[in-house]
């Protein structure tokens, strides 16, 4: 066999891709945990317990009784304390404080987990060609997510409010899912830069794209469901107070307000989008099982169908049990698993060679 003088270079480039890919998978996992913490923070009403945005000094918790008392007195000035938690005392405040503080600390750790390896890989020349601008943009978007988070929290301090604005909540959640998706997609491209998968029907790819779109819409609708506490009403399934379409679906004017501010419409839309996405995901899984040979593409479709079915069941259970915090948090956590499966399926069925050219050394 003739000696290939380029083999050591290709092996090093392959090793660099894998190293950067594993780093990005670790960051993606941390974002997944962050989304779960965000769900727990929201469901326990902990998100408004810290009324200061201190990106650096806020990394330290209160270190004295005087500091605890100062923060508690500050919290007592907002409507949530007056209308929901009045009189729960300093110990009650500490319980909600620690969850929000952990949520914010985890965000800072994600920033460090992204920045430090980025600088290290960059200085050692191990970042694959063409990837640096995307990584810089991801870091900037991560910083913007912290600012969006505070923008969301600040809305909960307004008069007569006991929770954050649902619109800002959806923006915050949507940006988190976008960051997670881009980080995961980039990692998948590093592990699987070539497109040597067996041919697959173009219609199957279109179906998976449509499924992914429905899933994202269902997740954003879920954000509004959480934001206006729509899950605490109509706790029956599949009908809503004996009706398929609830009474009062279009009671707000202008009509578009119903999609974000009407409890009946918001919950119905979330149910409808989730049902359509579930049917599409199961159809894609069945098609893939018949049309594709064993391998990454086929497995990703089967996992997509399974995790979407699991998420649908969790959603129904969350509704019927009137949104217990642990189950609502699990429902939001598995939503990221649904997004993961959808992205893996999309990546497996992507059109030939575009990613390979973009990330080629």
Q: Would the pLDDT of 211 be above 90?
A: yes
The conformation of residue 295, written as its DSSP 8-state character, comes to S
Q: How far is CA 306 from CA 211, 309, 328, 339, in A?
A: 14, 5, 19, 13
pLDDT computed for residue 87 by the predictor: 87
pLDDT computed for residue 351 by the predictor: 75
The domain segmentation of the chain, as residue ranges, is 10-191, 196-361
Rounded to an integer, what is the distance from CA 62 to the centroid of its chain?
29
pLDDT computed for residue 354 by the predictor: 46
pLDDT computed for residue 357 by the predictor: 42
The conformation of residue 240, written as its DSSP 8-state character, comes to B
Mean of per-residue pLDDT scores for the chain: 92
CA distance 266 to 307: 23
- Confidence band, pLDDT 50/70/90 cuts, at residue 53: confident
331 labelled ligand-binding: yes
pLDDT computed for residue 2 by the predictor: 54
The stretch 96-111 carries a mean pLDDT of 96
pLDDT computed for residue 353 by the predictor: 58
pLDDT computed for residue 272 by the predictor: 98
Using alpha carbons, select from 67, 63, 53 the residue that is nearest to residue 107: 53
Q: Would the pLDDT of 6 be above 70?
A: no
pLDDT by residue (tens digit) across 256-269? 999 999 999 999 99
pLDDT by residue (tens digit) across 9-38? 777 888 889 999 999 999 999 999 999 999
pLDDT by residue (tens digit) across 131-157? 999 999 999 999 999 999 999 999 999
In a 10 Å sphere around its CB, with 0-12 CB exposed, 13-18 middle and 19+ buried, how is residue 110 labelled? Answer: buried
The stretch 93-116 carries a mean pLDDT of 96
Where is average pLDDT lowest: 112-121, 197-206, 213-222? 197-206
The stretch 65-76 carries a mean pLDDT of 95
CA distance 88 to 253: 39
Q: Would the pLDDT of 356 be above 70?
A: no
Q: Which residues contact 103 (CB under 8 A, 6 or more apart)?
A: 34, 37, 38, 41, 46, 47
Q: Which residues contact 107 (CB under 8 A, 6 or more apart)?
A: 34, 145, 146, 149
- Confidence band, pLDDT 50/70/90 cuts, at residue 360: very low
pLDDT computed for residue 149 by the predictor: 94
pLDDT cut 70: percent of the chain above it:
93
CA distance 298 to 285: 8
Strand partners, 240: 243
Q: Would the pLDDT of 1 be above 60?
A: no
103 labelled ligand-binding: no
Strand partners, 243: 240
> What is this structure's pTM?
0.92
């Amino acid at each position: 066999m003739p000696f290939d003088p380029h083999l050591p270079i290709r092996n090093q480039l392959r090793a660099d891709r894998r190293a950067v890919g594993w780093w990005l998978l670790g960051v993606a996992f941390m974002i997944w945990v962050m989304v779960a913490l965000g769900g727990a923070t929201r469901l326990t009403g902990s998100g408004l317990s810290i009324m200061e945005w201190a990106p650096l000094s806020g990394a330290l918790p209160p270190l004295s009784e005087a500091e605890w008392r100062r923060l508690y007195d500050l919290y007592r000035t907002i409507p949530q304390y007056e209308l929901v938690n009045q009189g729960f005392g300093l110990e009650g405040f500490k319980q909600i404080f620690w969850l929000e503080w952990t949520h914010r600390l985890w965000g800072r750790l994600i920033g460090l987990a992204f920045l430090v390896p980025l600088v290290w890989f960059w200085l050692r020349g191990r970042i694959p060609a063409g990837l640096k601008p995307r990584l810089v943009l991801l870091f900037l978007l991560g910083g913007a997510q912290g600012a969006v988070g505070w923008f969301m929290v600040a809305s909960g301090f307004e008069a007569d409010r006991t929770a954050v604005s649902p619109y800002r909540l959806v923006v915050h959640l949507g940006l988190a899912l976008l960051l997670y998706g881009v980080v995961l997609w980039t990692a998948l491209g590093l592990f699987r830069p070539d497109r040597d998968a067996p041919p697959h029907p173009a219609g199957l790819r279109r179906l998976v794209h449509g499924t992914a779109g429905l899933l994202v819409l269902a997740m954003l609708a879920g954000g509004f469901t959480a934001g206006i506490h729509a899950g605490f009403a109509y706790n029956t399934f599949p009908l809503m107070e004996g009706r398929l379409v609830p009474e009062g679906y279009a009671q707000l004017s202008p009509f578009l307000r119903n999609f974000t501010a009407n409890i009946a419409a918001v919950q119905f839309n979330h149910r409808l989008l989730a049902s359509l996405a579930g049917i599409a995901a199961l159809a894609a899984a069945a098609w893939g099982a018949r049309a594709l040979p064993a391998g990454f593409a086929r497995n990703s479709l089967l996992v997509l169908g399974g995790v979407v079915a699991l998420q649908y069941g969790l959603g129904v259970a969350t509704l019927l049990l009137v949104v217990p915090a642990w189950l609502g948090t699990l429902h939001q956590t598995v939503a990221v698993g649904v997004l993961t499966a959808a992205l893996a399926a999309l990546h497996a069925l992507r059109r030939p060679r575009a990613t390979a050219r973009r990330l080629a050394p």
